Structure 1
Amino acid sequence: MVLIGIYIALASLCCILAMVADLLHGLRSRKLWFPCKFFTINAASLTVIAVAMKLPVDLSASMPGVVDQVSKLGSVAFMCTMMANLLPCLATMDNNAMLANIIALGVMVITLVVNVCIQIQTGVVACTYCKVPLMKEDEYHIPKMVASGKYPDTLDVICGVPYSIIAAIYVTMLLLLLIIHVSSSLAILKSKEIIESKYQEGHVRASRFLQQSTGELLTVDTLRQHVKNYWIMAGSGSPQFLITCPPTTTASGVICALTALLHTLTIRWLDFSTYRCGSAYKGTTQLILDVQYIGVLVGSVAPLSRCFASLSFYKEGVVAVCKIIALNSFFFTMCVLYILQCLKCLSKSTCCSSGKEDDNLDESSYVLQLEEENELAKRTPKGLSKSLDQLIQNSEKKHPENLMKLINTKSTEGFQGLKMFDKNNDHVQCSPTSKVIYRDCWSLAVVTLATIAVTLPEIKKVEVASLLKSVREGLDYVTLVEKNLNATPDCVSSQKAAEWLWQEVDASSSHIWLGIKLKDIASQVTTSDCIEDPMMQIVDLFLKEAKIKISKSRVGSKDGDSEFTSICAISMARITETIIKDSENKSFDESISSRIADIMAACLTNLPQVIAMKCHTSAIENREACVKGAAEILGETSELIKSLQDPSRRVSGINPDNMPFIDKWHACMSEP
């Protein structure tokens, strides 16, 4: 039983840490309504909560000491606090998950309430053996008392209030919180419909703003404004933010505060030195009491903050009363406000651009509300804009330094490295038996070229390490472009092959290509004067190995060659054949780095389109995360986007709709 007591305390501590994590997350993100990110209702959290509630659901264990009784009551108070903290997380669930979790929570709460009521009726809660030596516990064992109906004459009370009354108060609060949860879940369904309708209106307005630049590149400033519009919509239309506004949130905060106050007074009124722990849990009941009391205090912060956040919507009435009281200063106040308004208009006229009307200048139009509230619409964009600016600034510190260095130093004007492919061979069938058509993709071309570069004997290890770092950083963004813009089945197969191949080339210490160690290929190079250049020997060796892999796959070999192997081998054969035909490469190691840089640079010209796409999602529960991801990518790649949009890098004649596809670049650049 002592071990079980420790187990209960640890489960309670886990719940407390999750609530503290939500508090810190809310403070860090400046969301003082404290959204639930870590402490949410799910199978894992309900299991932990059930363990923490072991004492109040225990019907038979003897709890004769004051510490034992207060620990049992404290667990119920702790449950009230946790329920008040869990309320906003209901808004993060879809309808099916919300129904399942509400039912599970309801079963747990009703079970807890029924068990406590049984203990109140049987006297298990109220029967504390005041100042009776615990060595005579057997004479007053609770089951015997329940059977005989005879209880001690002296029951311990708190300022005249029996334990049973306090337990009844906690039970009532638990039932009220359960009703609040059920009511809130029903209100959330309607609120989401209203917000969804208003979000779609804002989405159309934001899309119209983006379409103003049709035919032009999306600049960083345009993207920043676009992200801000969606950031305001996602932040103000967050389901968790909306649930803090109704009176139910205020009621849960008040209940949580009353619970914390009552539990604090319960502990303060008792003289624990007079009594000892008399249950089989022994001293662990004191540990449980201390841990859960801390949880009650800490867990009261978020519900109270949400309560005050809801009350802030009624501040206009308070302001009106204050104006009536302070009537004598009315004219002075009006003069000051008029001067401030003039200064504000003057600053706007000097900072804003001339004459062009734009829906996005009025950022308050993107604030999503259940009910129109002008003051809230004015205040919300300011706070959200600050948080967005901070997020972008932090992301700018994570810019891909190695990738930018490679592109700035190796990339050619107009991305000439893309001419290396034969435009007539962009679609190849992997094998006669395969129904998958291989279509070239950015990542596979980069990984294939990087494989050759790593194997070249004349490149120094330091340069190889630097190149791998650049490719590693670049592939993160290249795959991001492909997953968002090249999601066709024929492209996806080659993208997965590239990911599989890169894990062998990069992650492996010995660098492997299709089961062959790159150092084994490099060892076959001879350095005699009468033999061709060592670098071209590497290319020839890769071409031979690629043809072997392709031939095995075409005859249906079962030596372990997979579809990915065939795709990677075809890519290697095409690239090496092109390199061999290119007789103008006098410095091949420089040429291959330039080709890698050109391919990644051309691919990453699509980043603005990806950022714009990631701002929007149909799932209301995921909008904040999507816009946050877009903002982080914008911060990381702002300098890179500016560099790629330099006029000297632009390729004329390519249709913007064709820019996400490497084969369309091949075709455009190969035209005379």
Structure 2
Amino acid sequence: MDLYNCNCTLSCFHVYGCGDICNSDYDNVVETQLDSPMPWIGMYIAAASALCSVAMIVDAFSGFRSKKFWLPCKYFSLNAFSLTVLAVAMKLPVDFTSKTLGVNDKLARISSLVFMSTAMGNFMTSLGSMEDYDIVLNLAALGVLVITVAGNVCIHIAQMRVFLDVRNILAEEIGSTVVMLLLLVTLCSSALMVPTAKRYIESGYQELHKRVSNEEVEWGKFTIDELRVVVRRYWLMAEAGSPQFVVGRSSIGVALGSIAPLFRWFIAVQFKCSKLGHRSFKEEFKVETYWTQRLEDWRDSPLRLQIRHHKCRKVVHDAKRLLLNFCIAVQIVIVLASKLVLLISAPCVYGILLCFQCIKNLKSCDSSESRAGTELDFSHYVLLLESEPGLPKEILTNICSEADKLIQKGKKKQPKNIIKLLQRSVNFIGVREFDRGEIGSLHTQELPNCWSLPVVTLTSIAISLPNIENHKIKQLLLRAVSEGLSFVKLIEKTLYSNGELESLRNTADVVWVGVELYKKWHDKDLQVTSPKGITHKEMLQSLSSIAEKTVRDFINGRDDVVMQNPLNWPVKVIAANSMYRITQTILLAHKDDDQLTDEQLFELLSIMISDIIAACLTNLARVITLKCHRNAIKEREESIRQAALLLGESEEILEILQQREIPNLDPGKAANIEDWRACIEAST
């Protein structure tokens, strides 16, 4: 039989080795070949869907764990990555060629549309964490995806409507598509509210901050309880004023088929229950200005287009006003519909909440630890929108309890070793004694001091002393000083955020790495086997000579203008200058004391280190309060979280410092070691 009479291609002949394949057989072969990779494509789509699902589940779990039942978006939010993954998961609904004949095909197609609606519902609160420009771009991208999916579904329905196997899922497809489009409209409606609401909340936060800052604790005059109250106040202000919480508790964002929107709806209804029966019908259906303010601003703003013709400009302006008036009307309808849903839902939910409250009252009272966070009235620190009811007591309690839990979590990590070292110090004299003015300067302009560099230098000297038991060095070096430096560096970073003395702090960091990990300073092994009979004075003189030579060699070899300022010196030179001055100070202080043993000098250095760290840690209360307030709204919650943990970690340290007689120092100068030295010098 002639191959060409069978109308088969040469490629088909080569592949299948049969010359009697007709046209219909060829079509079947082609379709089979094209369908063969579908299982792998299906696995890819399933993986994308699973990734989105896991992210939504993690968000839900995190919300439940922290009792944030509005379930803020952290892992699955509206951004480029999540939209790209969603686009992959939507492969089936946008496929024109799918016949949708099998039961699994139909189920997959419908479930994809429902999954898209679920994802959109979960996106709701993430609008609060975006800037205005990001909201526009991400919503535009989501709109393109949703409209593409909806358009393809409509085309598929139109093309396949005559087939009986497809007609039985038309209602589900149409319903899912309508819900998806409604959710897009709802998201856009909420997005119009977000910028105005954020500005309103931010203004309220700044006003509350002014009020709270007037009541803040003073340096050297504070109690642990006062610091706890400060942390709780700011934590409540940050949580209640969180943009995601503001969006999550609005009357907008009700979606179907998703656990996150369902719980956000419940939170919104719970808010409504707190004022149920206290407002008139007119007040219940009042549309607050922040819902339409952005649209009204656009409507009333002048045209950006440069149209010279007066009548044309007037026509365009009138058309713009007409369009935006229509958008405002749609926005009002959406808001009123949402308010109606909440108003209808509130009595039912109120009954459920009342039953739960009765059951809860029958149980034992809350523990004293839980009551500690709510024994004071914090309700006036809650940031609310216009006409918004106050936080329900349960939510207020949960937020305050979260702050208490963070403090308790930090308390479990209290640094025991630095606490023991601080208890060995009775005053702050070591702040003055580590560096004396009688020591001649190696440069015309002397370097200032920071807190961490003298601590690192003194620790290096203490390790270099001969005849000291190894366990004492480990306790001082690897434990106590390491723990103390973590607090010292935090204080320096917080209070010197403008870069002041940055080179000194950087030097301390670099030197400490060598000392802590290798017990080396300036490439010199601090614990090298000492020659027989060497004394601590000889060891100190050796370190001093190395340091002096390093500084003088650098100064003599440089004459450029930049290096005339010691703050621009390299790390090794700055470290050497500190070592020279401190070793010379110790030698000068004990030059006539021949009876001083290595153990005694080690103890004196330990107390000096303790004095310096203790003086620095008197600034902890100020650091905690500063961390409680951050202007950047994105950083606010995390910063207060760090403040609460820091308060817990440093609670026992603060109690030790409260028992000390702190010098009469201006609070603004308490962060500077040179001001401490001057104050102590003046008082003796």
Q: How far, CA to CA, are the matches of 2:415 and 2:440 in structure 1?
A: 32
Question: Out of 519, 528, 532, which is 1:527 matched to?
Answer: 532
Amino acid at match of 1:74: S
Q: Residues 218-237 of structure 1: matches in 2 within 5 Å?
A: 218-237=222-241
Offset, 1:633? 0.9
Q: How far, CA to CA, are the matches of 2:184 and 2:515 in structure 1?
A: 56
For the residue of structure 2 that corresponds to 1:39, the secondary structure is coil
Find the counterpart in structure 2 of residue 513 from structure 1. 521
Is residue 416 of structure 1 aligned with residue 429 of structure 2? yes
Contact 1:430 1:563 in 2 (8 A): no
Deviations along 1:125-149, one digit per CA (max 9) or x if unpaired, are: x7xxxxxxxxxxxxxxxxxxxxxxx
Q: How far, CA to CA, are the matches of 2:439 and 2:380 in structure 1?
A: 47
Q: How far, CA to CA, are the matches of 1:46 and 1:458 in structure 2?
A: 66
Find the counterpart in structure 2 of residue 664 from structure 1. 675
Q: Structure 2 vs 1, CA of residues 43 and 373 (structure 1 numbering), >3 Å: closer, same or farther?
A: closer
Deviations along 1:43-66, one digit per CA (max 9) or x if unpaired, are: 333333333333333444665533
Amino acid at match of 2:183: L
Amino acid at match of 1:369: L
Find the counterpart in structure 2 of residue 355 from structure 1. none
Contact 1:234 1:623 in 2 (8 A): yes
Q: Residues 19-34 of structure 1: matches in 2 within 5 Å?
A: 19-34=56-71
Contact 2:547 2:579 in 1 (8 A): yes
Q: Structure 2 vs 1, CA of residues 178 and 458 (structure 1 numbering), >3 Å: closer, same or farther?
A: farther
Contact 1:441 1:662 in 2 (8 A): yes
Amino acid at match of 2:105: D
Q: Structure 2 vs 1, CA of residues 106 and 476 (structure 1 numbering), >3 Å: closer, same or farther?
A: farther
Q: Structure 2 vs 1, CA of residues 428 and 108 (structure 1 numbering), >3 Å: closer, same or farther?
A: farther
Q: How far, CA to CA, are the matches of 2:676 and 2:623 in structure 1?
A: 18
Q: How far, CA to CA, are the matches of 1:388 and 1:365 in structure 2?
A: 17
Contact 1:15 1:48 in 2 (8 A): yes
Amino acid at match of 2:74: K
Deviations along 1:19-47, one digit per CA (max 9) or x if unpaired, are: 22212211121111111222223333333
Q: Structure 2 vs 1, CA of residues 39 and 644 (structure 1 numbering), >3 Å: closer, same or farther?
A: same
Structure 1 window deviating more from structure 2 (361-370 vs 63-72): it is 63-72
Deviations along 1:282-312, one digit per CA (max 9) or x if unpaired, are: xxxxxxxxxxxxxxxxxx2221111111112
Is residue 401 of structure 1 aligned with residue 416 of structure 2? yes
Amino acid at match of 1:418: V
Offset, 1:420? 2.4
Find the counterpart in structure 2 of residue 465 from structure 1. 474
Question: Out of 166, 174, 177, which is 1:171 matched to?
Answer: 177
Offset, 1:172? 2.1
TM-score (norm 1): 0.74
Offset, 1:68? 2.6
Contact 2:435 2:582 in 1 (8 A): no
Is residue 543 of structure 1 aligned with residue 544 of structure 2? yes
Amino acid at match of 1:576: T
Q: How far, CA to CA, are the matches of 2:441 and 2:487 in structure 1?
A: 26
Q: Structure 2 vs 1, CA of residues 116 and 511 (structure 1 numbering), >3 Å: closer, same or farther?
A: farther
Offset, 1:362? 4.2
Q: Structure 2 vs 1, CA of residues 578 and 424 (structure 1 numbering), >3 Å: closer, same or farther?
A: closer
CA RMSD, Structure 1 to Structure 2 (Å)? 3.5
Q: How far, CA to CA, are the matches of 1:118 and 1:426 in structure 2?
A: 89
Deviations along 1:601-648, one digit per CA (max 9) or x if unpaired, are: 1111100011111111112233222222211111111111011110xx
Contact 2:384 2:390 in 1 (8 A): no
Q: Structure 2 vs 1, CA of residues 398 and 165 (structure 1 numbering), >3 Å: closer, same or farther?
A: same
Q: How far, CA to CA, are the matches of 1:57 and 1:465 in structure 2?
A: 66
Question: Out of 374, 382, 385, which is 1:370 matched to?
Answer: 385
Find the counterpart in structure 1 of residue 268 from structure 2. 310
Find the counterpart in structure 2 of residue 107 from structure 1. 144
User: Structure 1: where are the runs of 5+ without partners?
Assistant: 127-150, 258-299, 326-332, 341-350, 353-359
Amino acid at match of 2:79: N
Find the counterpart in structure 2 of residue 347 from structure 1. none
Question: Out of 191, 194, 202, which is 1:188 matched to?
Answer: 194
Question: Out of 123, 126, 145, which is 1:86 matched to?
Answer: 123
Q: Structure 2 vs 1, CA of residues 426 and 4 (structure 1 numbering), >3 Å: closer, same or farther?
A: farther
Q: How far, CA to CA, are the matches of 1:87 and 1:428 in structure 2?
A: 64
Amino acid at match of 1:538: M
Q: How far, CA to CA, are the matches of 1:65 and 1:637 in structure 2?
A: 65
User: Structure 2: where are the runs of 5+ without partners?
Assistant: 1-36, 279-342, 348-353, 362-370, 560-567
Find the counterpart in structure 2 of residue 579 from structure 1. 586
Amino acid at match of 1:549: T
Find the counterpart in structure 1 of residue 460 from structure 2. 451
Q: How far, CA to CA, are the matches of 1:641 and 1:464 in structure 2?
A: 26
Q: Structure 2 vs 1, CA of residues 247 and 463 (structure 1 numbering), >3 Å: closer, same or farther?
A: same
Aligned length, in residue pairs: 545
Amino acid at match of 1:404: I
Deviations along 1:350-381, one digit per CA (max 9) or x if unpaired, are: x99xxxxxxx9542211111035565375554
Q: How far, CA to CA, are the matches of 1:591 and 1:657 in structure 2?
A: 30
Find the counterpart in structure 1 of residue 572 from structure 2. 565
Q: How far, CA to CA, are the matches of 1:316 and 1:464 in structure 2?
A: 61
Q: How far, CA to CA, are the matches of 1:636 and 1:219 in structure 2?
A: 15
Q: How far, CA to CA, are the matches of 1:11 and 1:67 in structure 2?
A: 18
Q: How far, CA to CA, are the matches of 1:426 and 1:613 in structure 2?
A: 37
Amino acid at match of 2:204: K
Q: Structure 2 vs 1, CA of residues 55 and 422 (structure 1 numbering), >3 Å: closer, same or farther?
A: same
Q: How far, CA to CA, are the matches of 1:553 and 1:57 in structure 2?
A: 71
Amino acid at match of 1:662: I
Structure 1 window deviating more from structure 2 (59-68 vs 661-670): it is 59-68
Amino acid at match of 2:426: E
Q: Residues 604-623 of structure 1: matches in 2 within 5 Å?
A: 604-623=617-636
Find the counterpart in structure 2 of residue 292 from structure 1. none
For the residue of structure 2 that corresponds to 1:209, the secondary structure is coil
Question: Out of 361, 367, 383, which is 2:398 matched to?
Answer: 383
Amino acid at match of 2:676: W
For the residue of structure 1 that corresponds to 2:546, the secondary structure is helix
Offset, 1:427? 13
Is residue 650 of structure 1 aligned with residue 665 of structure 2? no
Q: How far, CA to CA, are the matches of 1:625 and 1:602 in structure 2?
A: 27
Q: How far, CA to CA, are the matches of 1:16 and 1:88 in structure 2?
A: 17
Question: Out of 51, 65, 70, which is 2:102 matched to?
Answer: 65
Contact 1:423 1:667 in 2 (8 A): no
Offset, 1:660? 0.6
Identity in percent: 37
Structure number with the bigger relative contact order (C-alpha 8 A, sep ≥ 6) is 1
Q: Structure 2 vs 1, CA of residues 388 and 425 (structure 1 numbering), >3 Å: closer, same or farther?
A: farther
Question: Out of 613, 636, 641, which is 1:600 matched to?
Answer: 613
Amino acid at match of 1:492: E
Q: How far, CA to CA, are the matches of 2:539 and 2:609 in structure 1?
A: 17
Find the counterpart in structure 2 of residue 264 from structure 1. none
Find the counterpart in structure 2 of residue 270 from structure 1. none
Q: How far, CA to CA, are the matches of 1:547 and 1:613 in structure 2?
A: 40
Q: Structure 2 vs 1, CA of residues 108 and 575 (structure 1 numbering), >3 Å: closer, same or farther?
A: farther
Structure 1 window deviating more from structure 2 (183-192 vs 548-557): it is 548-557
Offset, 1:448? 1.9
Question: Out of 201, 205, 208, which is 1:199 matched to?
Answer: 205
Contact 1:426 1:439 in 2 (8 A): no
Q: Structure 2 vs 1, CA of residues 576 and 491 (structure 1 numbering), >3 Å: closer, same or farther?
A: same
Amino acid at match of 2:214: R
Contact 1:418 1:599 in 2 (8 A): yes
Deviations along 1:142-181, one digit per CA (max 9) or x if unpaired, are: xxxxxxxxx7x54245xxx33x442232222222222222
Q: Structure 2 vs 1, CA of residues 665 and 108 (structure 1 numbering), >3 Å: closer, same or farther?
A: same
Is residue 240 of structure 1 aligned with residue 244 of structure 2? yes
Q: Structure 2 vs 1, CA of residues 42 and 504 (structure 1 numbering), >3 Å: closer, same or farther?
A: farther
For the residue of structure 2 that corresponds to 1:248, the secondary structure is coil
Find the counterpart in structure 1 of residue 82 from structure 2. 45
Q: Structure 2 vs 1, CA of residues 316 and 569 (structure 1 numbering), >3 Å: closer, same or farther?
A: closer
Contact 2:201 2:241 in 1 (8 A): yes
